[in-house]
Amino acid sequence: MAQLESSFKNMVLVLSGIALFAAGTLASMYEFTKAPIAASKVAKQQNAIKEVLPAFDHLGEPVKIADGNENMVVHKAFDAKNEFVGAAVETSSNNGFAGKIVIMVGFDKEGNIFNYSVLEQKETPGLGTKMVDWFKTNKGNQSIIGKNPAIANLTVSKDGGEVDAITASTISSRAFLFSVRNAYHAFVSNKDEVVASANDTIQIN
Question: pLDDT tens digits, residue range 134-180?
Answer: 999 999 999 999 999 999 999 999 999 999 999 999 999 999 999 99
pLDDT of residue 205: 47
Distance CA 123, CA 104 (A): 17
Name the residue among 157, 43, 68, 154 with its Cα closest to residue 107. 154
pLDDT of residue 202: 47
pLDDT of residue 32: 61
Distance CA 68, CA 133 (A): 28
CB distance 152 to 162 below 8 Å: yes
Whether residue 35 is contained in a domain is answered as: no
pLDDT of residue 13: 74
Whether residue 38 is contained in a domain is answered as: no
Beta bridge partners of 115: 106
Length of the chain: 205
HSE-CB for 29 with a 13 A CA cutoff: 6
Whether residue 4 is contained in a domain is answered as: no
- Residue 183: give the domain boundaries: 51-202
Whether residue 37 is contained in a domain is answered as: no
Whether residue 149 is contained in a domain is answered as: yes
What string of DSSP letters covers 147-199? --TTTS--SBGGGT-SBPPPTT-HHHHHHHHHHHHHHHHHHHHTHHHHHHTTT
Distance CA 91, CA 183 (A): 6
How far does Cα 106 stand from its chain's mean position? Answer: 12
Name the residue among 117, 111, 155, 150 with its Cα closest to residue 136. 117
Whether residue 46 is contained in a domain is answered as: no
Whether residue 21 is contained in a domain is answered as: no
pLDDT of residue 157: 97
- Checking 4-13 for CB contacts under 8 A at 24+ apart, the result is none
Name the residue among 51, 19, 181 with its Cα closest to residue 115. 51
pLDDT of residue 196: 46
From first to last of its 205 residues, the chain has per-residue pLDDT tens of 445 455 767 777 777 778 777 776 776 665 666 555 556 666 777 889 999 999 999 999 999 987 666 789 999 999 999 999 999 999 999 999 999 999 999 999 999 999 999 999 999 999 999 999 999 999 999 999 999 999 999 999 999 999 999 999 999 999 999 999 999 999 998 666 545 444 444 444 4
- 191 CB neighbour count, 10 Å cutoff: 17
The count of structural domains within the chain is 1
Alpha helices by DSSP H, listed for 53-169, are: 131-134
Could you say which DSSP state residue 82 is in? -
Whether residue 194 is contained in a domain is answered as: yes
